[in-house]
Amino acid sequence: MNYADQEAYMRECLSLAAQAIGDTSPNPLVGAVIIKNDKIIGKGYHHKSGEPHAEVEAINNCNESVEGATLFCNLEPCCHTNKKTPPCAQFLVEKKIAEVYIGMLDPNPAVAGSGVELLKSQGIKVHVGILEDQARELNKVFIKNMASSLPYVHVKWAQSLNGVFASYPDQDRLMLSNNDSLVYGHKLRKKYDAIMIGRETLNLDNPRLNIRYVDNQSMKNPLKVIIGDYEMMNKESTLLKSERAMTVIVTSSKYEKLIHDNVLFSDAQSIKEIFQALKTKFGIQSLLIEGGMKLINSVLSENLADEISVLVSPEIKQGKVFKLEQNLNQYKAQSKTLGNNVVFEYRKI
C-alpha cells in the first residue's frame, strides 16, 4: 500500500474520531477503518466512555469476514483490562486481522506500546506514525491528562478593538459577539468537560453556560464551576437555583456548614491546586475558563493555560480596558475572522 493511500485512510480515521469531540471523556477520540481487497469494508468510532471502542465498532460494521484484512486507527489499540470494555488488541488477534496502521502510540502508561507488542507477537504487521502530528492534535486533551495531574485548560474572553473587556462589574454589559462568534464559543463549550467562571461573572451576567447555536445530538451539558466567596454569590442565579445539580462551587472552608453537595472547599492561594483538586474530586479532564479579568489573569499568571482564544470586535467601547498581567511569549498565535470579528488563538509551544 502506498503512503498516499495510508494517509487517506488515516484521515478517515481522524474524521470519524472527531465526530465524538466532547463526548468521550475521560477516554480518547478514536476512529477505525477496515480495508480488504483495496476497499473499505467497515468503519467506526468510539462514541462515549463505556461504549464499544472504534476497532470493535468498525469490525462489527463489516458485512464480510475481516480475516486477513488491514485495520487503520489513529491511536494504538488498547491491551489493558482494568476498564469498562474488553482490550481491543486481543480482539484484533481473535478476528485474524493481518496488518494494522496506527497514528500514534497510546500515552496511557497502562498501554504505552504494549498493544503494538501484543499484535506483533501474534504475527500481525504493525506500522506506527501515520499522520502522527494530526493524531496528537486530535487527542491533545487526553495526552495532557495522561502526563499531568492538571486538566487541559482553555481560556476565552471577548474584547473591543480598544481592549475593553466584554463584561466587568459596575459597567453596562457589553455584547461584543456576533453570531459567528457565538457559534465559535458554543463549539468550545461542547469540547470541554467543564466551564469555570468567577463569582463576579455569576452575579453580573447570570449566565446559563449551556450549549446552544451548535449541533448537540449527545445532549451534552458541561459541568459548571463557580469560584469565589459563597456568601457573595447570587443565590437566585440560574446556576445556583435551576442548574444546581450540574454546578460545582469552589469556595472557602468557612462555609462547610452551609453547602453539602457538589462543592470543593479550598483555601489554597494557588489556582493550580484548585485545578488539581477539581480533576481529582470531579474527574474534570478539560476546563474552559469564561470568567472575568481577575480569574483569567490568575490562570495566566501561573502559566496554566494550554490554549487561549481572544475574540475581538471592531467596535470602540468605553469602559475598563483589560490589562493582561503577563506576556504570551510561550504561545504560538494564529488568527481567523468570524464575521466582522477576529479571533486570536494561542497554543502553548
Number of structural domains in the chain: 2
Q: What is the pLDDT of residue 278?
A: 98
Q: How far is CA 272 from CA 13, 124, 276, 328, in A?
A: 35, 44, 6, 18
Q: Lowest mean pLDDT of 150-154, 179-183, 335-339, name the range.
A: 179-183
Q: Say whether both 95 and 158 belong to one domain.
A: no
Which of 108, 143, 178 is the last residue in one of the domains?
143
Classify burial at 282, counting beta carbons within 10 Å of its beta carbon; exposed 0-12, middle 13-18, buried 19 or more.
middle
Looking at the chain, how many residues does it have? 349
Residue 342, domain extent: 148-348
pTM above 0.75, yes or no: yes
- What does the pLDDT average to over 194-216? 91
**DSSP classification of residue 254:** G
pLDDT by residue (tens digit) across 142-163?
999 999 999 999 999 999 899 9
Which of 143, 160, 189 is the last residue in one of the domains?
143
Q: Say whether both 101 and 26 belong to one domain.
A: yes
Active site members:
55
